[in-house]
Amino acid sequence: MLEYEKIISQMTLNEKASLLSGEDFWHTRAIDRLKIPAMALSDGPHGLRKQASEGDHLGLVKGVPATCFPTAATMANSWDLALCEVVGQTLGKEAVYNNVNIILGPALNIKRSPLCGRNFEYYSEDPYLSGKLAAAYVKGIQKEGVGACLKHFAGNSQEYLRMTTDSVIDDRTLHEIYLTGFEIAVKEGKPKAVMSSYNKLNGIYTHENQFLLSDILVDKWGFDGIVVSDWGGSNDAVNAVKAGANLEMPSTGNDSILQLMDAVTDGHLDEKILDKRVDEFLRILYDTEIKSNLEVDLQEHHRLAQHAAEQAMVLLKNENILPISTSSKVAIIGDFAKIPRYQGAGSSLVNPYKLDGFMEVAGQTELNIIGYADGFNRIDGDDISDIDEAVELAKKADIVLVFMGLNEVCEMEGHDRSHLKISNNQIQLIQAVSQVAKKTVAIISAGAVIEMKWEENCDAIVHSYLSGQAGAKALLNVLTGKVNPSGKLSESYPYYYEDCPNVRYYPGKEKTCEYREGIFVGYRYFDKVEKEVRYPFGYGLSYTTFEYSNLVVEDHGIQCRVTNTGEVAGSEIIQMYINKNQTEVHRPVKELKGFTKAYIEPGETVDIVIPFDAYTFRYYDINSNEYVIEKGSYQILVGSSSRDIRLSGMIDMNGVQVNSDDSINLKQYYEGEVTDISSETFSKLYGKPLPKSLWDRSQPLEMNDSMSQMVYAKSLLARLAIKMLIRMRTRSVKKGKPDLNLFFLSNMSFRAIAKMSDGAFSMEMVEKMLIIINGRFFRGLGGLIKAFFKYKKRGKVNA
């Protein structure tokens, strides 16, 4: 029985189909005849990006002014669910104010590799933490009546070839690492929408993946919202509807409508399924209808953005110099102090209604600032001409604050980094400054992991990540001690990129992206093989100290006590991990299963309670395709970081007796030695033969090939075009202004020409264009012209 049967029964087939794809970049279609309004969708995860005029999915055209909160990677360091909920609610208010029904966020893809260009938009390498934070955002956003849209579902951890790559992930890894976060966020947050990702998952595009969208999302997790495609990410409109997807975005003109209508008419698509998708869509449309004339207080939101940033700052090192005393002479070095790096580039780019810079806010305080020097050229990383001036300034100061990190080119949608280093001139700067300065403090702005060999040159380091429009004031408060830093890293900092488990497999090349490291992502790997890291997962210092005591492990969770043993009040993030020593399956030695953040006055002791939940002891059993608990005893580890375990206890769990004979076949996984997994071993873990990983250059290019494959197209013109595009792309990076459109185009699939062109091209027209690209110019051109007129004619009839 459909909820909106009455309306649906009055709809023509054309009207039904027309609701399932966009009218324009940000809206669905209204049907005036039936008084069905349009739905408005807008990015994004850390601030609203509503585009009032022209639309794009890369943040190229400015959105309306909105509050730019710290990005997800930053907020994750707060580990503060209540705060995330409040930030979410504030995003919700700005959405209501701007008449937006669905916010396209939060984004919670797993940081499989520190190189992923969008890591600044994601929470963590850990699924539990990601899921909890995302659920909090969703709850907050939806308190205001608008919908949140979890993205990108699922297995999308690289930007390179993101529209064509096939993520090859074994079942257990998929469930435990790449789906658990979404599961938590769906079950606890109850989002009104989920955005499918661009990639294929185990051979099938996620937007038409029945297993993901129906079996898992709906049947197993009880999702009752709508599934929206990523922008241009849909493939076959009919298969998408069959698999459980509701909305294809942005606009494909009439093309997808015609395909759905044809499929119903010729019996390929049961109209009942179409009705069901329409019914689901209408429910969310009416559910998220904006009914109020809410006013928003952007000043108040700015203060919240500052508070959020304060809670997320991570103090990485402090050799007794922070907080800064007001009597110290302070020199400020580094371009980022003047022009802050506070968010990343791409679809999440917010147009902040106000933006604080450090120089400006510090100038309004008691801080005794004796001067400023640029220190380094932000764009040309090899230009060291600013160092001398900085060194001269540093000599005169008691404390030198060096503002450094990743520049704008390094962190953006559509492009992964190729290394973890900061620019050469910054490294040389910090080395030179530290030689003459009495005390050197590095302030890092970067939304993702960097290598920090230069750590030894610093007396203190504050990592502010990408802290949003009010991050400067938050940083100032941390530096001066008004705020005691309490953030802890939500990702591991290896010494070198080469230490990571998946260096050989990331990013996937050409056709596939094989997740050969399996479940050993981030600290799950580093801890298993006991590899030293620069900063472990969950790490962060405070201006005070905390003592842990009295652990009691009970059936439903743990209790312990934490005392603030220092002089100042502060917050501590208490983390609970589990470990199963005696196990029949391969496992990490530590997995985060709970956490809480407590504010504690000096000398005060607080009681901490962390409950167990459905995720605490389970692992995914590939034989029964279910989560099970392995019978036996588990170690419960409670600590201040993943590598600073203060208390431990045991618990016996009733569960299934697991008998596995994989320990020989999958020996490397049992040992965590996953850096060099052969195809044969991965295929055993995967449970099937591996799909072809390389492009077949002898074959003609197809709809789902990537534009970058035109380098080997038969048509000379096509080869020249892609070469020119790549050259222009490289040039834009060198200039320090990477052209996101060019990055997008080179990673784009051919079919996306139809999916992103607002109906200018039909899928059939793109097929004919491919004939040209494949070297049969006249045949292709003839077909293209014919397809053009056919589409125009049919489009008009059915409009």
Catalytic site residues? 230
Which residue, 57 or 534, is less far from ligand BGC as judged by CB?
A: 57
Which residue, 43 or 416, is less far from ligand BGC as judged by CB?
A: 43
Which residue, 151 or 590, is less far from ligand BGC as judged by CB?
A: 151
Cα–chain center distance at 783: 41
Q: Choose among 761, 783, 763, 762: nearest CA to 772.
A: 783
Structure token digits, residue 462: 């504050």
Cα first-last separation, the chain: 29
Which residue, 25 or 634, is less far from ligand BGC as judged by CB?
A: 25
Taking the C-alpha atoms of residue 493 and residue 758, their distance in angstroms, rounded to an integer, is 43
Dihedral angle of Cα 354, 359, 360, 364, to the nearest 10 degrees: 140
Which residue, 103 or 397, is less far from ligand BGC as judged by CB?
A: 103
Q: How far is the CB of 231 from ligand BGC (least distance, A)?
A: 4
Which residue, 57 or 175, is less far from ligand BGC as judged by CB?
A: 57
Counting Cα atoms < 13 Å in the Cβ hemisphere of 288 gives 30
Q: How far is the CB of 736 from ligand BGC (least distance, A)?
A: 22
Beta strands in 565-631 (DSSP E): 570-579, 591-600, 605-611, 618-621, 626-629
Taking the C-alpha atoms of residue 595 and residue 571, their distance in angstroms, rounded to an integer, is 13
Query: How are beta strands 399-405 and 329-333 bridged, if at all?
Result: parallel
Which residue, 48 or 443, is less far from ligand BGC as judged by CB?
A: 48
Which residue, 150 or 541, is less far from ligand BGC as judged by CB?
A: 150
**Amino acid identity, position 757:** S
3-state secondary structure of 156: coil
- CB 179 within 8 Å of CB 220: no
- Verify cis geometry, omega within 30 degrees of 0, for the bond prior to 106: yes
Return the number of other C-beta atoms located less than 10 Å from residue 728's C-beta: 14
Query: Residue 553 pairs with which residues in a beta bridge?
Result: 558
Can you count the helices (H) and strands (E) in the chain? 25, 26
Query: Residue 613 pairs with which residues in a beta bridge?
Result: none
3-state secondary structure of 261: helix
Q: How far is the CB of 104 from ligand BGC (least distance, A)?
A: 4
Q: How far is the CB of 58 from ligand BGC (least distance, A)?
A: 7
491: left (phi over 0), alpha (psi -120 to 50) or beta: beta
Radius of gyration of the chain (CA): 27
Residues that bind ligand BGC (CB under 6 A): 43, 57, 104, 151, 230-231, 347
Q: What share of the chain is helix, strand, coil (3-state, %, to 5)?
A: 35, 20, 45
For the purposes of burial, counting CB atoms within 10 Å of the CB of 304, is it exposed (0-12), middle (13-18) or buried (19 or more)?
buried
Q: How far is the CB of 751 from ligand BGC (least distance, A)?
A: 15
Beta strands in 140-210 (DSSP E): 147-153, 166-168, 193-196, 200-201, 204-205
3-state secondary structure of 727: helix
Q: How far is the CB of 156 from ligand BGC (least distance, A)?
A: 8
Q: What angle do CA 692, 696, 700 make, to 5 degrees?
A: 135
Q: How far is the CB of 347 from ligand BGC (least distance, A)?
A: 3
Q: How far is the CB of 121 from ligand BGC (least distance, A)?
A: 8
- CB 536 within 8 Å of CB 643: yes
Which residue, 226 or 432, is less far from ligand BGC as judged by CB?
A: 226
Which residue, 104 or 474, is less far from ligand BGC as judged by CB?
A: 104
Q: How far is the CB of 222 from ligand BGC (least distance, A)?
A: 24
Q: How far is the CB of 56 from ligand BGC (least distance, A)?
A: 7
